[in-house]
Amino acid sequence: MNDSLPFWVAVAAGMIRCATPVLLATVGECITERSGVLNLGLEGTMLAGALSAVVVSYYTHSVVLAIAIAMLVGAIIGLLHACICIKFQANQVASGIAMTILLSGITAFFGADFVGKPIQSVVAIKLPFLCDIPLIGPILFNQDPLVYLCYLIVPLTYWLINHTRFGLSLRAVGEEPRAAAAAGIQVRRVRYISTMLGAALAALGGAYLSLVYAQGWIENITAGRGWVAVGLVVFAAWNPWRALIGAYLFGLAVSLQLRLQAAGCEVSPYLLGMLPYLLVISVMAGSSIIGRKKAESVPTALGVSYAEQA
């Protein structure tokens, strides 16, 4: 994109862009899992977000509307997953996989008509003054508005989880749902809200993929980024700040791989393409070695359905 930039600055700027969709999904899943619901449907949710953003952007030429609709679609999918897991007490892992199979089918079905269609995409905005900072400026502050939004979402989510009344309920419901219920918290309602919120953020990540990253619809555009996000939540120990680190590591691997290919690297693009996935598996293993003593960071009630006693 910017041939004038030095190699590593270009890699770093690319890292931010490649990381953004995964970061949004990871932060969303942090919220969901903190309430004790495991949403493995992120891959499908991101696909649905990506396609609905393309469709809305194609017909209305409005990026804002596209993003809003994508998030709404994500929230509806989250509601469905939450309904199956909470109301029908289904296995949460299997439900996520089923959602992804369903949504990859639906998006491929409807997406076929939108492959290669021109859409209204998002342009980069240089933040005045900030983008003039040497080195950091062109990396961090010459990006599109969604990236800036992402800079805000991480601290906001951290604040939401750790310093608000809702966050307190969220953590209580994820740790000790019965105690939370005894304290007057609506366990199910909190879980519904957190699952919808997390899925909406994942869909926003999907919308970023199609509107900014690929600038159009490609079948299976996410290529496993939803699963990557689920893996990164484990690495992040359910903390949005650590999710930021994980997502940027993933972004670095993707961006480096793309830049190396563009620079005519000898290594096969297929081998380079494995890098991000292997990286995520390694960081999951690595964080498990380091964090073995801190096992309490796992929400105790994660993945356990809560049958409310009458």
Partner 1 sequence: MYGRQVVKSIRATQRALISIAGSLVSILCGLIAVGLFLVVAGRDPIRIYSGIFTSAFGDGFALSETLVAATPVMFCALGVAVAARVGLMNIGVEGQLLAGAVGSTFIALTLPATMPPWVMLSLMAVTACVCGAIWSAIPALLKVRLNVNETIVSLLLNYVAVLVVEFLIHGPWQDPTTSSWPQTQAFPASAELLHLPGSRIHLGFFIAVVIGLVLSLVLTRTKVGFRANVIGQNPEAAKYAHYRVNRYLIIALLVSGAVAALAGFSQVSAIEGRLRSGLSPGYGYTGFLVAWLARQNPLAIIVTAVLLGGFLSGADSLQLSEKLPFATVNILQGAIFLFLLASETSLKNLAFKLQLRMATNAEPDGLALLPAAGASEVNS
CB of 151 to partner 1, least distance (A): 27
Nearer to partner 1, 75 or 99 (CB): 99
- Kindly report the length of the chain: 310
State yes or no: residue 230 binds partner 1 (CB under 8 A). Answer: yes
Q: Does 137 bind partner 1 (CB under 8 A)?
A: no
224 binds partner 1 (CB under 8 A): yes
CA angle 203, 17, 202 (to 5 degrees): 15
Q: Which of 9, 68, 218, 223 binds partner 1 (CB under 8 A)?
A: 223
> By CB under 8 A, is residue 84 in contact with partner 1?
yes
Stretch touching partner 1 by CB under 8 A, among 46-54, 161-169, 194-202, 283-291: 283-291
Is 281 in contact with 253 (CB distance < 8 Å)?
no
φ, ψ of residue 54 to 5 degrees: the values are -65, -45
Q: How many CA atoms lie within 13 A of 294 on its CB side?
A: 11
Contacts (CB under 8 A) with partner 1, residues 17-76: 40
- What is the distance between the alpha carbons of residues 167 and 174, in angstroms, rounded to a whole number? 10
**Is residue 274 involved in binding partner 1 (CB under 8 A)?**
yes
Residue 202 tokens read as 């994942």
Residues contacting residue 19 through CB under 8 Å, at least 6 positions apart: 247, 248, 250, 251, 252, 254
Stretch that binds partner 1, among 174-182, 192-200, 219-227, 255-263 (CB under 8 A): 219-227
Q: Write the CA distances from 83 to 73, 96, 166, 233, 300, integer angstroms.
A: 15, 12, 20, 22, 21
Q: Which two tokens stand for residue 117?
A: 């269609």
Establish if 105 lies at the interface with partner 1 (CB under 8 A). Answer: yes
Nearest distance, CB of residue 245 and partner 1, angstroms: 18
Binding site for partner 1 (CB under 8 A): 40, 84, 88-91, 93-95, 97-106, 108-110, 112, 223-224, 227-228, 230-231, 234, 268, 270-271, 273-274, 277-278, 280-281, 284-285, 288-289, 292, 305
